[in-house]
């Protein structure tokens, strides 16, 4: 019988794979697709962030959908409500499954974003997507402790289905808003390089604490052997 690590070397079960988002933080669509296809046995979701979207635009979303991934469009929208609503409508029509917006933009802005995202998807004949609020950036180390719960409440009131939070905040988020979809970046193997992620957690801890979607980038994408790094990272999940 295959050992646990050998089984993980072949990929994850469909249930676990749907919970893994690969952060394609590169500036070239060809490179992004090569990485995504190579890592498809472990990742069911491809995250397009500001770097790749600036480089390749909506083609990045279409190409990843065509390759069989759900797309997480991490544009961290923050503008006047009308503009956010219109941009979110386009994201929904493109087929993005998840879209981020800043809770700092306020309830009215998030509500416009949620409505735009949903109507874009509905009009394109797609199932209802999930708008995800960013509460506090991990780079904002000075944010007072009450900011996260306040923004979480605001995001839920505005209709956001999900939020991004650190693995170390999962317990608080679960208690404050049990039904909110929880997206967790900063995933690292035990003892792995944390880069600029101060609150890094292992994938098994994030899952045990109730994460719904794990965002994973440099822990695999910077490796000379991304598939081997993914197999090792997931050996214990
Ligand atoms: O650290 P890693 O490369 O796994 O980051 C994956 C994603 O996490 C990035 O695409 C970025 O959106 C997010 N990130 C974050 N906080 C940081 C650095 C990155 O949430 N300090």
Please name every residue paired with 143 in a beta bridge, in sequence order, or none if there are none. Answer: none
Count of CA atoms in the C-beta half-sphere (13 A) of 110: 27
> Mean pLDDT lowest for which of 68-72, 97-101, 139-143, 220-224?
139-143
pLDDT(1) > 70: no
**Ligand 1 pocket, 195 CB below 6 A?**
yes
Which of the listed residues 165, 167, 197, 199 should we mutate to test ligand 1's pocket, taking the one with most ligand atoms within 8 A of CB?
A: 197
Which residue owns the Cα nearest ligand 1 atom 20?
A: 185
User: To the nearest whole percent, how much of the chain has pLDDT over 90?
Assistant: 87
Centroid of ligand 1 to alpha carbon of 217 (angstroms): 7
Quick check: 140 pLDDT over 80? no
What is the DSSP code (8-state) at residue 224? S
Structure confidence at residue 4 (pLDDT): 67
The CB of 223 under 6 Å from ligand 1? The reply is no
User: What percentage of the chain exceeds 70 in pLDDT?
Assistant: 97
At 112-129, the pLDDT tens digits run: 999 999 999 999 999 999
The full set of domains in the chain, from first to last, is 4-233 (3.20.20.70)
Ligand 1 neighbourhood includes 196 CB (under 6 angstroms): yes
With a 6 Å cutoff on the Cβ, whether 216 touches ligand 1 is yes
pLDDT confidence bin for 107, thresholds 50/70/90: very high
Instruction: Find the mean pLDDT for residues 42-61.
Output: 98
Give the C-alpha separation, 129 to 124, whole Å: 12
Q: What is the mean pLDDT of residues 9-15?
A: 94
CB 226, CB 35: distance < 8 Å: yes
Of the pLDDT bands very low, low, confident and very high (cuts 50, 70, 90), residue 2 is: low
Q: Is there an atom of ligand 1 within 6 Å of 3 CB?
A: no
Q: What is the CA(90)–ligand 1 centre distance, in A?
A: 24
Name the residues annotated as catalytic.
Answer: 76
pTM of the model: 0.95
Tell me if 9 sits within 8 A of 231, measured CB to CB: yes
Residue with tokens 């960013």: 134
Cα end-to-end distance, the chain, whole Å: 18
Residue pair 90/120 in contact by the 8 Å Cβ criterion: yes
How buried is residue 227: exposed, middle or buried, by Cβ count under 10 Å (0-12/13-18/19+)? middle
Q: How far is the CA of 56 from the centre of ligand 1 (A)?
A: 20
186 CA distance to ligand 1 centroid (A)? 6
In this structure, of 5-9, 50-54, 57-61, the range with the lowest mean pLDDT score is 5-9
């Amino acid at each position: 019988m295959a050992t646990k690590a050998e089984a993980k070397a072949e990929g994850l079960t469909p249930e676990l794979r749907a919970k893994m988002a690969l952060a394609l933080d590169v500036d070239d669509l060809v490179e992004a697709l090569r990485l995504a296809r190579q890592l498809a046995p472990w990742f069911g979701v491809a995250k397009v962030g500001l770097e790749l979207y600036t480089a390749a635009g909506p083609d990045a979303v279409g190409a990843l959908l065509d390759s069989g991934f759900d797309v997480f469009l991490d544009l961290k929208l923050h503008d006047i409500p009308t503009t956010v609503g219109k941009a979110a409508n386009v994201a929904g029509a493109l087929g993005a499954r998840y879209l981020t917006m800043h809770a700092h933009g306020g309830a009215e802005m998030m509500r416009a974003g949620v409505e735009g995202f949903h109507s874009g998807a509905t009009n394109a004949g797609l199932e209802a997507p999930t708008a995800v609020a960013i509460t506090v950036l991990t780079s904002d180390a000075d944010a007072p402790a009450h900011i996260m719960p306040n923004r979480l409440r605001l995001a839920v009131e505005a209709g956001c289905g999900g939020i991004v939070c650190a693995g170390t905040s999962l317990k608080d988020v679960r208690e404050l808003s049990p039904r909110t979809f929880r997206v967790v970046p900063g995933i690292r193997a035990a003892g792995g390089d944390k880069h600029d992620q101060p609150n890094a957690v292992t994938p098994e801890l994030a899952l045990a604490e109730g994460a719904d979607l794990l965002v994973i980038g440099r822990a695999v994408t910077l490796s000379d052997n991304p598939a081997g790094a993914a197999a090792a990272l997931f050996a214990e999940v």
